[in-house]
Amino acid sequence: MSVRLIQVCCLFSLVLGFAASEMASGFDGRGQSRGRVESTNFVVYASDYRLATQVSQRAEAYRKSLAIEWTGRELAPWSQKCPIEVELGGASSGETSFAFVDQSNGRGYPIEWQMKIRGPYQRILDSVLPHEITHTIFATHFGQPLPRWADEGACTMVEHELEKNKNHQLLMEFLHSKPSMGIPFNRMFVMRSYPRQILPLYAQGYSVAKFLIYQGGKQRFVQYIGKGLKQDEMNRGSAGWSAVTAEFYGYKDLSELQTSWIKWVGDGSNEIALKTAGNRYSKMVSEQGSESTFAINPKPSEKVAALNMGGAKTNFSEQIATSPESRKSPESGENLVFEIPIYRHPKNMTQGSKPILR
């Protein structure tokens, strides 16, 4: 038996003006006794009973609807309930941790859930909570950690439009930076841990997930990731992902996928054009030549160079902290020691001297 612990986190930037809507909702968190509400799969702790009830109800509803949306079916009840700690106010953020217990069928089963969500009332309910619930759905469905870009990118898809727009704006900044902070696909697709600079991963992962989901839908994306994980198990690396990408989306390899995605982003990340053209989009944009309208850079000589990630100098170093932990085997009661990889990143992110997320 082995236990593997993964910690996945989501960060959000603060939107001015939500403090007012938070107060208007009646959940000011002041002068209220701490609330605890237990449901089928969650135990919610909040500043008052009303807030705990709302989060509990939304959590169960998201768990059901998002599981069907992504996988085509509901999840069975968990053997252990997931505690959710809610902190009302401040900048939006969230993190979820869990351990995988290896089963006889070779799949991991998630246990020891821990979820913390924080932010204005409305952003907790429409962005932070569904994002974190989607992490739990993927953990249950796949039974193992996902590549970071796929996990965070897909989870961002369920957030409020304001939050998704922030990720797109950050992506433009990172791709225009000198040197580019874009992550080459042959590296990004096999990253199982968070890099030290995580914001480019969040922004690019969201955009790439959206690019693929627009072409085949969410359930096909989940099937794609599942097939890619099997390639990872055979240690095929980026070559395995190239083969799966060709099978599911028609791009011959990750390089062609990257080229097509870059041109799609340069042309404004248009959903309708992508759904119509699919993997022919790269060729179509290339044939347009100077007639193509790029929303990023008006200078034709710079518009592709600014998005060129093939030679991007990304000084990312993967950060993994491992620590031994002693636990008792549920079968024998004996103490077992496991090496537990914990994926961490800081909550306060800055680029230069300007705060990006808090």
Structure tokens that stand for 126 in this block = 């429409």
Structure tokens that stand for 78 in this block = 């968990």
* Range among 23-32, 50-59, 323-332 with highest mean pLDDT value: 50-59
Contact criterion met (CB below 8 Å) for 5 and 26: no
Q: Quick check: 358 pLDDT over 50?
A: no
Residues forming beta bridges with residue 322, ordered by sequence position: 341
- Within 8 A by CB and 6+ apart from 165, the residues are none
Q: Taking all residues of the chain, what is their mean pLDDT, rounded to a whole number? A: 75
Q: Are residues 65 and 209 in the same domain?
A: no
Instruction: Give the CB-side neighbour count of residue 86, counting CA atoms within 13 A.
Output: 34
Q: Quick check: 168 pLDDT over 70?
A: yes
Q: Are residues 164 and 139 in the same domain?
A: no
Which tens digits make up the pLDDT trace of 203-231?
A: 999 999 999 999 999 999 999 999 999 99
Q: Are residues 245 and 343 in the same domain?
A: no
Q: Are residues 307 and 246 in the same domain?
A: yes
Q: Are residues 220 and 257 in the same domain?
A: yes
Q: Are residues 14 and 137 in the same domain?
A: yes
Q: Are residues 190 and 297 in the same domain?
A: yes
Q: Are residues 16 and 132 in the same domain?
A: yes
**Dihedral of CA 350/259/159/36: which sign?**
negative
The C-alpha angle 60, 64, 69, rounded to 5 degrees, equals: 140
Domain count of the fold of the chain: 2
Q: Are residues 85 and 195 in the same domain?
A: no
Longest dimension (CA), the chain: 70
Q: Are residues 193 and 340 in the same domain?
A: no
Query: Residue 170 burial (CB < 10 Å; 0-12/13-18/19+)?
Result: buried
Mean pLDDT of 32-60: 93
Question: Which three-class secondary structure state does DSSP give residue 188?
Answer: helix
Taking the mean position of all CA atoms in its chain, how far away is CA 312? Answer: 22
Tell me the C-alpha distance between 169 and 161, whole Å: 12
pLDDT category at 323 given cuts 50, 70, 90 is very low
Which tens digits make up the pLDDT trace of 88-140?
A: 999 999 999 999 998 877 789 999 999 999 999 999 999 999 999 999 999 99
Which candidate, 195, 206, 188, places its Cα nearest to that of 134? 206
Q: Are residues 133 and 161 in the same domain?
A: no
What one-character DSSP code corresponds to residue 306? G
Radius of gyration of the chain (CA): 21
Domain range for residue 73? 1-145+319-358
Q: Are residues 161 and 296 in the same domain?
A: yes
DSSP string covering 15-37: PTTHHHHHHHTT---SS-PPEEE
User: Among 34-38, 257-261, 277-281, 301-305, where is mean pLDDT lowest?
Assistant: 301-305
Q: Quick check: 143 pLDDT over 90?
A: yes
Q: Quick check: 22 pLDDT over 80?
A: no
Which residue blocks in 289-334 are alpha helix, DSSP H?
A: 300-303
Torsion of CA 68, 73, 78, 81, to 10 degrees: 20
Amino acid at 225: I
